[in-house]
Amino acid sequence: MKWTIAMTQEELNRKTIIEQAIERRIPQREGAERIGVSERHFRRILRRYRTRGDEGLVSEHRGKPSNNRLGEQTRKEVGEFVCDPIFEGFGPTLLNEKLAEYKGIMISKESMRQIMIEEGKHRARVKKAKAPHPPRERRCRRGELVQIDGSYHSWLEERGPKACLLLFVDDATSEILAAEFVDQESFFAYGNLCKSYFSATGTPVAFYSDKFSVFRANSSRSIQKEAVTQFNRALSSLGIALICANSPQAKGRVERANQTFQDRLVKEMRLLNIDNYQHANAFLPKFVNFYNHKFAVLPRSTDDVHVPLDTSIDLDFLFSVHDTRTITKDLLIHFNTLTYQIITTRPPRYLTEREVLVVQNQTGLVSAFLNHQELSLQLFHKQAKPPRIAYSKSLNPHIYTPPVNHPWRSYGQKLNGKPTLINDP
């Protein structure tokens, strides 16, 4: 009678070593070392092979259920938990944590993954080959480099509009130092988060960001070759360096934090039924503490290089829009299409043609400073001009467009003494 014995590669290698030991080509001690078992167990394997042949090398546990398998009742309860619509989109790791938190059932992540696959709630993904990026070594001390970024996402899913989450991540520890939901990335949004971060923790050595227009002047039409943004000006006043990365991978710590927040934070707020960003900002510190406890690492040095903020520094003044204007002979200042009259008792000749610092805060309030002294301003309202009388002949005037071969297009261009036609692109 013929039958088939299924053997693994490890069992086939074991057979070769057993046969060498039976033929006395190697001692039993060497055979046990090559298989990775004790000499006593090696002799057991020899006896099984002599009496049962190849079948004696096949594991007797094959085809039998594991002794550590989940009970039917537990398996059914986990399956019902997985199929709850509120957990739609949860991955095996996060759902396993929620199972232990809500039901008190402790199973392995792999068991959860297998149950989710059986229930049709998870599909195994094939990892794509990624372009290699040489890792950059972490900074040694906390506060030496802080990576900053904004992430636009549907944080409240269908319960609210999209918003931007600003994150400040420490490079040495991957710790979230500051976070806030805002409508969009802007100078004032980053300024407000910086003010709360500096007041609570201190000022870092440097910020690491992308090339967003808040951090870097990207216009090729800029008058100055190296224009300084308002955000960079404010940081320079505090002695903080600003470094702009050339690629997202360069600031990978904050990018990975964004991915984690887009996965876990969205689902946490779904479970709490948070439907507005005011409540989301109130919940954010609790989630940040959880994130730091779970994902932050210890720095190589215990030194914290954050510098305590000087109480004499006015952060509201620093994180306002600063610009310069020249006072006209009528003691007027023009700023953002508006005109402001300087109210003073000094003779005009002392103020005319002098350059002043114009400051506009987040609320739109405009102030002017001359030699660090604030000037008294009053909005100058121009009188409206009467409407211009339009004659019927001037309504909808006919616009004449010269043809392509019109001599006007080749004016001044001649070839062999004759006008040459120039085709405009």
pLDDT in tens, 198-232: 999 999 999 999 999 999 888 766 555 567 899 99
Confidence label for 18 from pLDDT (cuts 50, 70 and 90) = confident
Please give the structure tokens belonging to residue 309: 């903020």
**pLDDT at 25 exceeding the cut of 70:** yes
**Arithmetic mean of pLDDT, 57-78:** 79
Please give the structure tokens belonging to residue 140: 């040694």
Confidence label for 318 from pLDDT (cuts 50, 70 and 90) = very high
> Among candidates 181, 177, 152, which has minimal Cα distance to 274?
181
For residue 425, the model assigns a pLDDT of: 46
For residue 395, the model assigns a pLDDT of: 55
DSSP string covering 366-413: EEEEETTEEEPEEEEPPPPPPPPP--GGGSSPPPP---TT-GGGGTT-
Confidence label for 360 from pLDDT (cuts 50, 70 and 90) = very high
**Arithmetic mean of pLDDT, 281-287:** 96
* Fold that domain 146-295 belongs to in CATH: Nucleotidyltransferase; domain 5 (3.30.420)
Task: Give the residues across from 146 on adjacent strands.
Answer: 170, 207
Confidence label for 391 from pLDDT (cuts 50, 70 and 90) = low
154-185 pLDDT, tens digit each: 999 999 999 999 999 999 999 999 999 999 99
Greater confidence (408 vs 161) lies with 161
DSSP string covering 204-229: -SEEEE---TTTS---TT-SSTT---
| Mean pLDDT, rounded, of the chain | 86
**Arithmetic mean of pLDDT, 294-322:** 93
CA distances from 304 to 138, 145, 195, 204 (A): 14, 11, 19, 9
Confidence label for 348 from pLDDT (cuts 50, 70 and 90) = confident
Please give the structure tokens belonging to residue 190: 């980053």
DSSP string covering 282-311: HHHHHHHHHHHHHH----SS--B-PBPPPT
φ and ψ of 13, to 5 deg: -65, -40
Q: Contact 152/162 with Cβ under 8 angstroms?
A: yes
**pLDDT at 410 exceeding the cut of 50:** yes
Domain ranges for the chain, please list them. 9-57, 72-118, 146-295, 320-380
